[in-house]
Amino acid sequence: MPGTFKAYMKSIQAKTGKTPEDFWKLANKKGFVKQGKMTAKYADLLAWLKSDIGLGHVHANMMITYLRLRTNDPQLTAATKKWAYSTGYQSGE
């Protein structure tokens, strides 16, 4: 993956005015995350982030990655986890 996790999060915040924590709270409020676990399908998350929030495809995928990291989603690959942690993701960000 090009770029760093931290740079993607900064870019998303600059575009939306929302922090990763804001997205976490919104995902919980919408029921995409319940009791710290991912409950939404990828397609539903992508549609929400692209249509309701206005993110492009790559930024939407990065925010999905953030939510999956935060919930320790088993669908997240080891390679993606390694990339995120090595390029700026902090657990519980």
CB-based contacts of 81, cutoff 8 Å, min separation 6: 69
Q: Is residue 10 part of a domain?
A: no
Q: Is residue 12 part of a domain?
A: no
d(CA 51, CA 76): 23
Q: Is residue 54 part of a domain?
A: yes
Q: Is residue 61 part of a domain?
A: yes
User: How many domains would you assign to the chain?
Assistant: 1
Helix (H) or strand (E) holding 9: helix 5-16
* 40-77 per-position pLDDT tens digit: 999 999 999 999 999 999 999 999 999 999 999 999 99
Q: Is residue 8 part of a domain?
A: no
Domain that includes residue 44, residue range:
18-86
What pTM was estimated for this model as a whole? 0.92
Tokens of 72: 């320790």
Q: Is residue 11 part of a domain?
A: no
